Homo-oligomer: A and B are copies of this chain.
């Protein structure tokens, strides 16, 4: 049996209250009782029960993170960054991978609404999950529009799209294809697409956007990319909406006997550590990951304290020029 406050109290010959006071050092206490209590705590190897404390305090000091999947480097690195910072603020982190399955996401949400977490950071791609609406749980979203009540943290997606597209055009590309997620999803990511299309048109070219579901197996993605090369033998550049896709495209191009950048210019998006180090040659739009994480946490804490927040935080991106485009 796990010892509880009462057991410690008995052993130290004091009341529960006193033990509690000693452990949370509140109020006046004689050095003698303090010592006796700590002695008893050690003797019994007492560990306080957090759950009881959570119930009393009505807070868990746990923040939920809801992302498509941390197996993807962008969300893996983002989650690691969030965890690091939240840990320093005394929070723990509960992670849910929605796998872009609306059922799973709604289920997680329902679970987390039950006072299981104090707040939520969401970066999933589903829409129309009604649970978000009538919840009073503090929530911030990363790269996702939810509803008016929920602040969004995002990198400057539009500018990122402009940077990438302009860069490819400046390199002399004429037929540039863009890959992006399903258009139904009203996410800030769509601004990359919009920027791409606007820019392409501004230069008198024709936009071609190919839909690639974010959350399908790599092998499926590769099939889609292979098909792109079949359908557009004359294409000379691709602006991929994330680094992993860009890396996969690079691989597929290689398999197709295409040389990057000689036969194909390529620009990615994200600038994750891993891809930047494994494929430093990949030209890509770099998102400020640490800044995104920090902003999300700052804003969430404001929500936690019932302080007002903005509804949108747009953070600057930069273009990393490699050799692929």
Contact = CB atoms under 8 A, between A and B. Distances in A.
Interface of A: 2, 45, 47-52, 54-55, 60, 62, 69-73, 76-77, 79-81, 83-84, 87, 92-97, 99, 104, 110-111, 113-116, 134, 136, 218-219, 222, 244, 247-248, 250-251, 273-275, 277-280
B277 A251 contact: yes
Nearest to A80: B71
B92 A111 contact: yes
Contact of A277 (B51, B52, B104, B222): B222
Nearest to A93: B95
Given A70-B76, A76-B76, A95-B95, 13 more contacts: A47-B113, A49-B114, A49-B115, A71-B77, A71-B79, A71-B273, A72-B76, A80-B97, A94-B94, A222-B277, A248-B278, A251-B278, A274-B274
Nearest to A277: B218
Nearest first, the 3 closest Cβ-Cβ pairs linking A and B are A76-B76, A71-B80, A218-B277
B50 A116 contact: yes
Contacts of A279: 251, 278
A274 B244 contact: yes
| Residue with the greatest number of chain B CB neighbours at <10 A, chosen from A51, A93, A244 | A51
A94 B97 contact: no
A205 to B, nearest CB: 29
Nearest to A254: B281
A68 to B, nearest CB: 10
A134 B218 contact: no
Given A49-B114, A50-B115, A51-B116, A274 B73 contact: yes
